Amino acid sequence: MSEPGGDSATSATAILAAGAAATATPRDPRDPREAPARYRLIERLDEGAMGVVWIAEDTALHRKVAFKVLHDRLLGGDFQEQLAREARTMARLNHPNVVAVYDVGVHDGRTFVAMELVVGRSLGHWLDTPRRWDEVVAVFRDVAAGLVAAHDAGVVHRDVKPGNILVGDDGRARIADFGVAHAGRARAPDGAATDTTQGTIGSPAYMSPERLRGEPAGALGDQFSFCVALYEALCGARPFAGKTMADLLAAITAGPPPWPRPVPAWLEATVTRGLAADPAARFPSMRALSDALRGPAEPLARGAARVRIAVGAVVVVAAAVATTLAVVGRGPARRQAAQRRRGRRQARRRSMAGSAATPRRRRPRPSSSLRSARRPTTPPSP
């Protein structure tokens, strides 16, 4: 393949070759040389560009783990150190959305890593069931949180893709396989420290254009890869396609095609911005992209919640003040009512006393002449 900028094309070809070679069949996964005595291999779980992952039992702690070792073709050189670096990288990221690392070591000349065994499935298998856009966004919010933690720790993943995203049966998504990650220090134009990466292993279909050109890739490259995976999860196909690196770069430069599946306008705008060919046109950080994935409704809801809390607090305070005033004002009111009752009682007593002191007037007895006149006259007897 001959492309402008021969070094970039050669590097890109090496990337594709490395990905194709990953399908080579390793030794029997139950070969005792594959694991130290502490780990009992159960079954092969997955295979990637760098190594093979098995389900194994940690006989010391009596728990199942994901046990990863290098491919035979990668023994020697820098690859074993790279796998050990992956373990140290992931161990440094103590975050619920990053697969946890339990152990790292060398056995039979091979570097191995014992990691958290996530009960669930890869994002690709999770998407075999049709999902609503909000379900997809909820999973990618978890992934974004894990990447924010990685970037805060100075680590760039460089291989964000559906195969490296695990969706647990508990509903929580984790980012895995930091085998391509590399933390380096460089100086940005403004003098601030930033992370850069080097190397050629990764997944070209999800790579940022700067990585495809062979340039150092940083956190903004993770953002691009994240948005490629999110677009694919939402629309069922990747936004950019090409048989060669030049085709991919041309497609990225032209921008994503019209969205084949309707999604909210804010979500389309967010993902499209993360897919910008120019890193400066993307979100300034993964944290900013993560915030944008909350959507416009959530900040409004949080604002409304704050208003409701404030109104509730005012009502409570007002009720408390009213109660206090009622309690404080109850004393004088009671005293006044008692005084009125006493006044009425005293008035009744005075009235009764006055009535007792006044002699009762008797009606005068009629005179004898009147009494005799009133008597009936007895008629004379015949």
Q: Which residues are catalytic?
A: 159
> Residue 340 corresponds to which tokens in the numbers above?
């009125």
- What secondary structure letter does DSSP report for 197? B
- Alpha carbons 85 and 70: distance in angstroms, whole number: 13
- Written as one string, the DSSP assignment of 108-167 is TTEEEEEEE--SEEEHHHHTTS---HHHHHHHHHHHHHHHHHHHHTT------SGGGEEE
Residue 125 CB neighbour total at 10 angstroms: 13
Residue 90 carries which side chain, given as an amino acid letter? M
Closest CA to 197 of 207, 184, 211, 188: 184
- Alpha carbons 97 and 261: distance in angstroms, whole number: 28
Coil, helix or strand at residue 185: strand
Judging by beta carbons within 10 Å of its beta carbon (0-12, 13-18, 19+), is residue 74 exposed, middle or buried? Answer: buried
